[in-house]
Amino acid sequence: MGYGPEFLKWKSEVTDSALKAVADLYHAFQTGLMLTISLKRGAKDAGVWTKALFRRQHKAKFLSSFEKLGLKELSDAKAAAAYHYLSNKIGGVDVEYMAESESKAWVRFPPPRWIYPDASICGIPTEVSRGMLEGWYAENGPSLQNSGLGFVCTAQTPDAQHGLAGYFLDYGRELSTDERLIFRPGELPPPFDPDKAPELPTEKWPQDRLDKAYRNYAMEYVRTGLPLLTELFGPSDGGHLGRHTGFLIGAQLYQKVIRGLSLKRYANGALGLATLIKILGDAEGALTSASGDIDNAQVQWDSWRLGRGMNQPHPAVFEAWHGLIEGLAASHDRFLIVELVASPATGDDHIEWRIRRRRINKKKD
């Protein structure tokens, strides 16, 4: 199937509620992956996966975002802390920034932690928090070509402390690999004064860009994390972990998503589910279409938007992502069959679903 100029008529106006629905789904997907890996494979593997996730994101995003965030004129310690402050604020994360000097600047993520919402914090092992710090915070110095820049962690939320806190410190000497991240629990950060924190250059960050960045922030975690499942744990086990998580998240968040989109549960059967998938595709940035009736429907996306930037992922990566759609479908109407007609898992450049009602044989009296 081709996608020429006529396909543009399928593009729908994306609402703020649709952007938020996509962000919520991927936010929960990311947290769910942390919990699933911790439960199924143990804390050590959860930490390994988290470290690899944040290391890969660091390589892709850290330096390339410096100019966008207006950080090039700051000292390395202040710039590193300001990066975490601004980039996380864009994603809707509560974060604090406190600079003590040109060579020492704090960041603190107070509870409730964005990445571990609600009671999920109780299932997050310390290894996950450490993996995050090892994969990103410990790498800021090498990325800035400053061998003397390290991070001192003074608190971690999973350890029942006051949040994730610590400071970037320029020691003024070359650090060994083990010195780039050290732990000093108990040292308290200074008070946070928002008037002294850095601000985004408003001319480069209008509201519509911020809205999309909020969505992209959550999507990026899953875009990076799903391929790592298959790379670290193999296509079979890694794909199963992703699909299992995706299904649970889709099913569990279904009602929250449709309430935010002003849709109704069970409404319009197959076409209702097709409409939901279309709305989510629009909000992810795809060109979409949906048609049908209560018993049979079709949905099309011109591309798998989450797959952009992935380097020839194993088909199990798409199948893991598709667990999210399967979970949404199960909560929408368990009597519907969702069939993939075309997908990246089978070498297609677009996605097409057919949805039909399952035949139910009624018992005779």
Residue that finishes a domain, picked among 196, 226, 241: 196
Of 172, 196, 220, the position where a domain reaches its end is 196
Tens digit of each residue's pLDDT (9 = 90 or more) over 61-111? 898 888 788 888 899 999 999 999 999 998 889 999 999 999 999 999 999
Phi-psi group of 137: left, alpha or beta (phi > 0 → left; psi -120 to 50 → alpha; rest → beta): alpha
Question: For a pLDDT cut of 70, what percent of the chain falls above it?
Answer: 94
Q: What is the side-by-side strand order in the sheet with 296-301? A: 288-292, 296-301, 351-357, 336-342
Start-to-end C-alpha separation, the chain: 48
Q: Is residue 27 a part of any domain in this protein?
A: no
Residue 263, pLDDT score: 85
What is the band of 365 on the pLDDT scale with cuts at 50, 70, 90? low
Q: Do 143 and 172 reside in the same domain of the chain?
A: yes
Domain shared by 192 and 259, yes or no: no
Domain endpoint, select from 196, 221, 237? 196
Structure tokens at 20: 């938020």
Question: 41-64: per-residue pLDDT in tens?
Answer: 999 999 999 999 999 999 998 988
Same domain for 277 and 188, yes or no, is no
Mean pLDDT of the region 250-273: 89
Task: Indicate whether 106 belongs to any domain.
Answer: yes
More confident residue, 200 or 343: 343
Same domain assignment for residues 154 and 233: no
Range of the domain at 185: 69-196
- Distance (Å, rounded) from C-alpha 124 to C-alpha 258? 28
Q: So what's the pLDDT on residue 210?
A: 85
Give the model's pLDDT for residue 2.
Answer: 35
**226 pLDDT exceeds 50?**
yes
Q: What is the pLDDT of residue 8?
A: 34
CA separation for the pair 152, 144 (Å, rounded): 17
Retrieve residue 175's tokens.
């650090």
Whichever domain contains 342, its CATH number is 3.30.1380.20
pLDDT value of position 267: 72
In this predicted model, what pLDDT tens digit does every residue of 124-148 receive, in sequence order?
999 999 999 999 999 999 999 999 9
| Per-residue model confidence as pLDDT tens digits over 149-171 | 999 999 999 999 999 999 999 99
Q: Give the model's pLDDT for residue 10.
A: 41
Which tokens go with 128?
Answer: 């996950």
Do 142 and 215 sit in the same domain of this protein?
no
Highest mean pLDDT among 72-76, 298-302, 311-315: 298-302
What average pLDDT does the structure give for the chain?
Answer: 92
70 vs 287: which has the higher pLDDT? 287
- 272 in any annotated domain: yes
Q: Does residue 219 lie in a domain region?
A: yes
Distance, CA of 363 to CA of 81 (rounded, Å): 66
Q: Tell me the H-state helices in the chain.
A: 16-40, 43-61, 76-90, 126-135, 140-143, 207-233, 235-260, 269-284, 315-332
Q: How many domains does the chain have?
A: 2
Is residue 155 located within the same domain as residue 186?
yes
User: Quick one: 183 and 272 in the same domain?
Assistant: no
Query: For residue 41, is it within any domain?
Result: no
Instruction: Give the pLDDT of residue 363.
Output: 61
DSSP assignment letter at 7: G
Tell whether 226 and 314 lie within a shared domain. Answer: yes
